[in-house]
Amino acid sequence: MSNEKHAGMPAGHHPEARDGRRSSATIREVAVLAGVSPATAARALNRYGSVSAATIRKVSLAADQLGYRTNPIAQALRRGHANYVGFLPGDLENPFFATVARALGDAVEEAGYTLTVSSSDERLDREQKIVDTLQANLVSALVVAPVPGHDRSHLTRLAAAGIPLVIVDRAIPGLAADTVTVDNRGGARAGVEHLLDRGHRRVGFVSDVLEIASSQDRLQGYRDALSARGFVHDPDLQSVAQPSRDGGYRAALALLDRRDPPSAVFAADNLMTLGVLRAAGELGLRIPEELSLVGFDDFDLATAVRPTITTVAQPVAEIGRRAGALLLRRLEGWDGPAEHVNLPTRLIVRESSGGESATSEGSGGRPGSAS
């Protein structure tokens, strides 16, 4: 670079450029090189105020040549928020949440935001602490799969502070926030009706804690299916676990290792399904000859194991995409009423329920009999 190009810069300054190294260049030096005022350079780099496209290009080129980097902390303080979105799932051990995170990340990163993910481990105290920390660090928006509990003050504080909030998977009645869920009740009903169509009369239900809204909805769908066929709900055929693989195993073992076990089981999520498979294996129960199985939530292992697993599939990636679209609309300034998106499920019939591979589209509808 010529000395003429850097006229007016401090003596001894070496603003070597473009090798990716962070330099000590200042906004004033960028302004001198671009031939504009420091105020105009700041507006051009931070995209605020009235600046022409030509000036933005000129200032950006100067910043690149000098290796100048904006200060993200200063930018966040000026805007009132940082350019990142938080996602707070219940448990990242569950592949459901990993898929949601991937789709959500793709959506927000395309709009210039960075996604940060932190698991609550299904603990309310941890969820509260993470939400408060993210808010203190000027998070732009939050997507939360809330854990069971009655204290929602940490979430209502977000709304009061004007921070966009989207609830996924587990609706919270009375909370004024955009929500993305699936038809848990209709999907569970379709899965249980499929087992009843196969001739089963004692269908067990294995679920994680019923304080989780989606689990409660799936239990209601299970009861709906029984009632529609004239069966009385038997609480002894219901087993509840902590939301983990080990919890699902223990709940399934308690249900199946008894004198009069059910001939079929509806597992309320993929971790419960894995627990049923493990328990059935330990007890020597052959699937589907001695125990039929339908699980809520499709997952990779459902087609990798033998027999393959009949599942009620959720549009998991679509949950992440819809959540991203809702929060981006809020970040763009839309202030309409809270929106509740409820997506359909579909029954995928495979070998574990004694059926041939087939798919029944739609939520809650009775699938055709598998031969």
Q: Which has more pLDDT, 343 or 54?
A: 343
Q: Please, which residues bridge with residue 240 across strands?
A: 207
Q: How confident is the model at residue 20 (pLDDT cuts 50, 70, 90)?
A: very low
Same domain for 163 and 108: yes
Same domain for 321 and 306: no
Q: How confident is the model at residue 338 (pLDDT cuts 50, 70, 90)?
A: very high
Question: CA dihedral defined by 70, 71, 74, 75, rounded to 10 degrees?
Answer: 40
366 inside domain: no
Same domain for 354 and 218: yes
Residue 3 has pLDDT above 50, yes or no: no
Task: Collapse the DSSP code of 181 into the 3-class scheme (helix H, G, I; strand E, B; otherwise coil) and give the result.
Answer: strand
The pLDDT, as a whole number, for residue 24 is 60
Same domain for 292 and 152: no
160 inside domain: yes
76 inside domain: no
| Among 7-21, 68-82, 205-219, 355-369, the range of highest mean pLDDT | 205-219
Residue 122's nearest CA partner among 205, 211, 206, 188 is: 211
The pLDDT, as a whole number, for residue 370 is 31
The pLDDT, as a whole number, for residue 121 is 92
Q: Which has more pLDDT, 53 or 102?
A: 102
Q: What percentage of the chain reaches a pLDDT higher than 70? A: 85
Query: What's the CATH code of the domain at 333?
Result: 3.40.50.2300
The predicted-structure confidence for 193-228, as pLDDT tens digits, reads as follows: 999 999 999 999 999 989 889 999 999 999 999 999
Segment 174-182 shows an average pLDDT of: 94
How many domains does the chain divide into?
3
Residue 351 has pLDDT above 80, yes or no: yes
Same domain for 174 and 294: no
The pLDDT, as a whole number, for residue 48 is 58
In whole numbers, what is the pLDDT of the chain averaged over residues?
86
The pLDDT, as a whole number, for residue 70 is 63
Q: What is the rounded CA–CA span in Å between residue 96 and residue 318?
A: 12
Same domain for 99 and 36: no
Q: What is the rounded CA–CA span in Å between residue 301 and residue 242?
A: 21
Domain that holds residue 46: 4-70
Residue 255 has pLDDT above 90, yes or no: yes
| Among 18-32, 155-169, 255-269, the range of highest mean pLDDT | 255-269
Same domain for 229 and 354: yes
User: How long, in residues, is the chain?
Assistant: 371
Residue 254 has pLDDT above 60, yes or no: yes
Residue 270 has pLDDT above 90, yes or no: yes
Residue 19 has pLDDT above 50, yes or no: no
The pLDDT, as a whole number, for residue 8 is 40
41 inside domain: yes
Query: What's the CATH code of the domain at 23?
Result: 1.10.260.40
The pLDDT, as a whole number, for residue 230 is 96
Of 166-180, 253-267, 353-367, where does mean pLDDT reach its minimum? 353-367
| Among 63-67, 103-107, 147-151, the range of highest mean pLDDT | 103-107
Q: Which has more pLDDT, 149 or 246?
A: 246
Task: Collapse the DSSP code of 221 into the 3-class scheme (helix H, G, I; strand E, B; otherwise coil) and give the result.
Answer: helix
CB-CB contact of 108 with 166 (8 Å): no
Q: How confident is the model at residue 365 (pLDDT cuts 50, 70, 90)?
A: very low
Same domain for 244 and 210: yes
Residue 181 has pLDDT above 90, yes or no: yes
93 inside domain: yes
Residue 313 has pLDDT above 50, yes or no: yes
365 inside domain: no
Residue 217's nearest CA partner among 178, 176, 169, 263 is: 169
